[in-house]
Chain A
């Protein structure tokens, strides 16, 4: 595969030039003078953590959002765009391939491509011509024969992606923006997508490729721009940089004193996991967890990290391997079985799974522990109150009292109610799924403190979090899952966010653990 025009020698005129873009939402600045320059015949990677400003600059490029008045410059093929709107940007040839395949499942391939600019015969829709055009377009650009009368819902994920791209090409796209295009594709499909992109590049299209997967950036991109904290922090040819360098640029941050330290005295092994696997989700997962330890697990969307937690909590049975809990085999077939063995899960989606917002704090906290509270089958109101009072005090839930409705609390305080509900249960193993998502910094610290206390009281804790800084600060050890396997184990000196990010993104050559690059 020849690399089209040398990316190090940019063509005379950029396809897209965004300079010094500032975007303010209320009190916070999402972009603080960001640049992004795309050239024709180039595949340009855009990387950055969530919150770095990637999606904001994409929305500005799409014309969905406007940069702050007076800030920056938006140029497309050398012409300044004074009033960007989605229609205006599309008219200038900028097309977006959304992450979720935005196609009508009950439409045919031809209809999906034609929708919005249907070929006509007088006032009528010319279905035959639409079919012919769609088939010719797909054959020309992709060398594939996809019948124009097939239904979208009968296509594979990769074929649907191809139809999406064809839609853009049908309207003379000159710049393609692909947002996480490989998220739902298996490896084989990723390869065919990449050959399509290389083909389009050789035709002079400018392609912006947004991905969390560093190995993909390295494989397909000519140039990469790194965003951090609302700015581009680096932009260079892929050939002249390396994945660790890019990852370091993305992180650019130190672990603060946000994370309370605690004495570290692990006890006996509580949970032992050997060769655990569930078909289609994860395989060959093994680790030991001691009393008093906090273990972190993380991975990209679809990596299988979440499924491991689900299996340990009895939500989905394992197909392979063995788990031992306090010396006895543990293979929970249901949540009930897991709870009876002293394993509890604090779910991420608290509104749906963790807490009943229309009930009071007292009722929520005690709902999971009615066994402790009832006498002769009746709930003892006084012990209910004391348990709830203790939960509120322990977690410093800001409330008017135990009878306040949970709906009236802030996100952080709701999460504390969920925690409190389970923390009063005296379990042996705590599984926490994104315990600090969407809670403010103050509440985060209180949640960390509680987790530390649980561990110091002898519980074993597993925290699933996509916040790698949080894992580095909070956990004793961390496992990074990539494409269903453990891609790295981190402890002590190696427990650093940039190393974990590299492993999660599929770049592991310099790290312990198997290199899973390319595993489907």
Chain B
């Protein structure tokens, strides 16, 4: 004779009748308003106090500089939203920056070795995606925590890059690189246009297509998604693969900017992680969105730009980024403990 008594559940809160949804602002709404106000205040503060900040040249420049971190942050956002935004066990890809470094090296080395542009592009994008697939397999098939799997992958990839480049900068030129680095249209540079196109594509897929809905469902409650017939494992694997591909795509943009592969891309990881996590603050649901991620990337971009114009050391910027990560993660953890 047994009765089910395996855990304690208390009666759920709240009245049975339907509350008017306009009656109160939820905690999420308040967070969102405060975050947007903070961004606006910081921007206005720099605009008022810093000479040369609020000029069209400077603003366009910051946006262009944000293209590569922005695209990487969108890749990070994709992995986080599909894997779940619990920082400890959810989706995260710490190998994105290193993957970009390796992919850039592959591209530059392939061009130096005399490969044609299409072959070099294919090799680069393929290699980046392969890194993502291995990440995804480690997470989905082997069940390794994403934090650890991608950290290890980051080291492997960083090592490969050093082997390939012997820790030197490899110069690279090709027609497509010239278009990307020098082209412009309607007063906006190629890189800015690429950021706009990638963001639009991501927004359409994530926010306006059935697969996008399923990606968010997978991150929000994998069991519920599975019960609704969503192939959870395949989507998570796919998110890492697309993130890897995107890292390689960003690598090509990076080579175009520098006309060379460059070492030390790993330093970018902190800012793209900060942007992807900070981006969740701007959404009603507390999940990564395209708009939220872009706002966060531009915020970080303007912050470091403002610091530079004020003559402050750029070392402060990485400190601020670290603090932002801590603040966002702490706020999410607190919210989760409070609201369940």
Q: Which residues of A contact B (CB under 8 A)?
A: 49-51, 87, 98, 102-107, 111-112, 114-116, 118, 120, 123-125, 127, 144-147, 149-151, 153-159, 167, 180, 183-186, 188-189, 191-192, 212, 251, 253, 280-281, 298-303, 305-307, 434, 466-470, 472, 497, 501, 504, 520
Q: How many A-B residue pairs have CB under 8 A?
A: 152
Asked if B228 and A115 make an inter-chain contact with CB atoms under 8 angstroms apart, the answer reads yes
Q: Beyond the given A103-B221, A188-B15, A504-B3, could you list 5 further A-B residue pairs with CB under 8 A, ordered by the A residue number?
A: A104-B220, A115-B224, A115-B228, A155-B14, A186-B11
Interface centre among A153, A191, A468, A470 (most CB of B within 10 A): A153
Q: Which residues of B contact A (CB under 8 A)?
A: 1-16, 18, 21, 26, 204, 208-210, 212-214, 216-217, 219-221, 223-225, 227-230, 284-287, 339
Asked if A466 and B10 make an inter-chain contact with CB atoms under 8 angstroms apart, the answer reads no
B194 shortest CB reach to chain A, Å: 23
Asked if B11 and A107 make an inter-chain contact with CB atoms under 8 angstroms apart, the answer reads no
Asked if B213 and A154 make an inter-chain contact with CB atoms under 8 angstroms apart, the answer reads no
Asked if B12 and A189 make an inter-chain contact with CB atoms under 8 angstroms apart, the answer reads yes
**How far does the alpha carbon of A98 sit from the alpha carbon of B212 in the complex, in Å?**
25
Residues of chain A within 8 A (CB-CB) of B209 are 123-125
**How far does the alpha carbon of A300 sit from the alpha carbon of B228 in the complex, in Å?**
30
Interface centre among B217, B224, B285 (most CB of A within 10 A): B224
Residues of chain A within 8 A (CB-CB) of B216 are 104, 106-107, 111
A89 shortest CB reach to chain B, Å: 13
**How far does the alpha carbon of A186 sit from the alpha carbon of B5 in the complex, in Å?**
18
**How far does the alpha carbon of A253 sit from the alpha carbon of B2 in the complex, in Å?**
12
**How far does the alpha carbon of A50 sit from the alpha carbon of B16 in the complex, in Å?**
30
B84 shortest CB reach to chain A, Å: 10
Q: Nearest CB to that of B284 among chain A residues?
A: A151
* A183-B221 contact, Cβ under 8 Å, with A115-B230, A253-B1, A468-B1: no
Residues of chain B within 8 A (CB-CB) of A281 are 10
Of A50, A184, A467, which contacts B11 at CB under 8 A? A184
Residues of chain A within 8 A (CB-CB) of B204 are 124
Residues of chain A within 8 A (CB-CB) of B5 are 298-301, 303, 305-306, 434, 466
Interface centre among A105, A115, A183 (most CB of B within 10 A): A115
Asked if A118 and B3 make an inter-chain contact with CB atoms under 8 angstroms apart, the answer reads no
Asked if A115 and B217 make an inter-chain contact with CB atoms under 8 angstroms apart, the answer reads yes
Asked if B1 and A497 make an inter-chain contact with CB atoms under 8 angstroms apart, the answer reads yes
Q: Can you name 29 A-B residue pairings with CB atoms under 8 Å?
A: A50-B2, A102-B221, A103-B224, A104-B221, A104-B224, A106-B285, A107-B213, A115-B224, A115-B230, A116-B214, A124-B208, A149-B21, A156-B14, A157-B12, A158-B12, A167-B228, A184-B12, A186-B12, A253-B1, A298-B3, A300-B5, A301-B3, A301-B8, A302-B9, A302-B10, A466-B3, A466-B4, A467-B2, A469-B1
**How far does the alpha carbon of A387 sit from the alpha carbon of B37 in the complex, in Å?**
65
Residues of chain A within 8 A (CB-CB) of B8 are 301-302, 306-307
Q: Nearest CB to that of A130 among chain B residues?
A: B213
Residues of chain B within 8 A (CB-CB) of A167 are 228
**How far does the alpha carbon of A98 sit from the alpha carbon of B16 in the complex, in Å?**
20
**How far does the alpha carbon of A180 sit from the alpha carbon of B213 in the complex, in Å?**
29
Interface centre among A116, A468, A470 (most CB of B within 10 A): A116
Asked if A111 and B213 make an inter-chain contact with CB atoms under 8 angstroms apart, the answer reads yes
B277 shortest CB reach to chain A, Å: 16
Q: Nearest CB to that of A472 among chain B residues?
A: B1
A277 shortest CB reach to chain B, Å: 14
